[in-house]
């Protein structure tokens, strides 16, 4: 069984009094459900992959117990950019850890507005 999720990490929310929060969201397109991880320092490839890991642990495995493959659609920039080795290495570690076959498809640069997570989840975060 394969599953398709969308990931986004391109936004940060800054409050002058409280500081900056960086979210990483995983949106299950078929189920119209999402999961958001928050970080208070830097956006990294490991953080983006950890968002996928948390989604798997808290939602994904229970919802899709027979899942063997995971397709991730991601923006072209940010910590999950198509050229970042840290993102790729962290994804490979997750694949090794879970036994999942993980595929990633990136939106071309400047087209993250087509990523469904932008409209379904991130528009509600303030």
Query: What pLDDT score was predicted for residue 98?
Result: 95
Q: Specify whether the backbone of 24 is left (phi greater than 0), alpha (psi in -120 to 50) or beta.
A: beta
CATH number of the domain where residue 91 is located: 3.30.420.10
pLDDT, position 56: 93
pLDDT given at position 31: 85
Per-residue pLDDT at 43: 63
Q: What is the pLDDT of residue 67?
A: 93
Number of domains in the chain: 1
Q: Which domain holds residue 23?
A: 2-124
For β-strands 19-28 and 13-15, DSSP reports them as antiparallel
Q: For the chain, 126 residues long, give each residue's pLDDT as a single digit of tens.
A: 555 655 555 455 566 676 677 777 788 878 888 888 777 666 678 888 888 999 999 999 999 999 999 998 887 777 777 777 888 999 999 999 999 999 998 877 766 666 666 656 666 665
- Euclidean distance between CA atoms 14 and 1, whole angstroms: 39
Q: How big, in percent rounded to 5, are the helix, strand and coil portions of the chain?
A: 35, 30, 30
Per-residue model confidence (pLDDT) at position 73: 83
Helix axes 45-55, 85-98, angle to 10 degrees: 30
Query: What pLDDT sits at residue 6?
Result: 57
Q: What residues form DSSP beta bridges with 22?
A: 39
Neighbours of 126 (CB within 10 A): 5
SS3 33: strand
């Amino acid at each position: 069984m394969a599953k398709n999720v969308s990931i986004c990490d391109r936004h940060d929310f800054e409050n002058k009094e409280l500081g900056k929060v960086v979210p990483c969201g995983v949106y299950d397109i078929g189920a119209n459900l999402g999961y958001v991880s928050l970080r208070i320092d830097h956006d990294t490839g490991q953080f983006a992959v950890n968002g996928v890991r948390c989604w798997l642990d808290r939602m994904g495995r229970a919802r899709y117990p027979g899942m063997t493959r995971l397709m991730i659609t991601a923006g072209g920039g940010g910590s999950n950019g198509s050229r970042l080795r840290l993102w790729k290495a962290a994804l490979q570690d997750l694949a090794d850890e879970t036994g999942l076959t993980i595929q990633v498809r990136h939106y071309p640069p400047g087209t993250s507005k087509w990523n469904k997570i932008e409209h379904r989840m991130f528009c509600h975060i303030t």
